[in-house]
A and B are shown apart, each in its own frame.
Chain A
Amino acid sequence: DVKVTQSSRYLVKRTGEKVFLECVQDMDHENMFWYRQDPGLGLRLIYFSYDVKMKEKGDIPEGYSVSREKKERFSLILESASTNQTSMYLCASSLQGWSPLHFGNGTRLTVT
């Protein structure tokens, strides 16, 4: 079974802090994704990566950056956390092509 692991289930940070959300997958998937999920808005794509050191902006990249130095690891970075970034963050991975995404359990981030 594919396993996508997000380092934290719950995280509380202060406004202005730099925040790192880590995601690791164990199935040698090429594609990795970061989404945020908010009530009534569904899942919105922040960034995705289709190869090591490659990244593409999703629909809401503002205020975020990403890093993919190794194939199995995809990090989401909030350079200066703000209260409007309080959300559930979901990481996912997939093979290339039309294969389904496999999701981690999510990180619920609260910025105070």
Chain B
Amino acid sequence: AQKITQTQPGMFVQEKEAVTLDCTYDTSDPSYGLFWYKQPSSGEMIFLIYQGSYDQQNATEGRYSLNFQKARKSANLVISASQLGDSAMYFCAMRETQGGSEKLVFGKGTKLTVNP
């Protein structure tokens, strides 16, 4: 069963507008971590933001914020004031424990295009 679901293969947004990228997850572990990464066309994976399962407040990093709804198991990424340089693939990921060690499981990604 898929543990991280990103239902939007592609999204379009006008420059300077806000956009929300959806992510739902599935885990029975009470302790987990959620991450968002950006992958521009150049290919490098860039860490954007992190949310721990016990964090009381939604994480924010500059123009990025994470809308964490624990009961609904969703961790949507909100990008405010979109810029042309935000055009990229965005991946949601969950840290989980396996055999006493931790691994990161990724969704299939959302391709964001920012239009001028």
Contacts and interface: CB of A to CB of B under 8 A. Distances in A.
Interface of A: 31, 33, 35, 40-45, 48, 50, 54, 56, 58-59, 88, 90, 92, 96-98, 100-103, 105-106
B45 A33 contact: no
Nearest to A58: B103
A5 to B, nearest CB: 12
Interface string B71-107: 0000000000000000000010101001111111111
Contacts, number: 58
Given A40-B108, A42-B107, A43-B106, A102 B47 contact: yes
B95 A98 contact: yes
Q: Size band of the B side of the interface?
A: 20 to 34
13 contacts: A33-B103, A42-B6, A42-B108, A48-B103, A50-B100, A88-B43, A92-B45, A96-B102, A98-B50, A100-B47, A100-B50, A101-B45, A105-B44
B68 interface: no
Main secondary structure on B side of the interface with A:
strand
Interface string B51-72: 0100000000000000000000
Contacts of B33: 98
The list of the 10 closest CB pairs from A to B, nearest first, reads: A42-B108, A103-B45, A50-B101, A43-B106, A100-B47, A98-B33, A42-B106, A42-B109, A106-B43, A48-B103
A59 B91 CA distance: 17
Given A48-B101, A88-B43, A92-B104, 4 more contacts: A31-B101, A40-B9, A98-B52, A105-B43
Contact of B91 (A42, A88, A106): A42
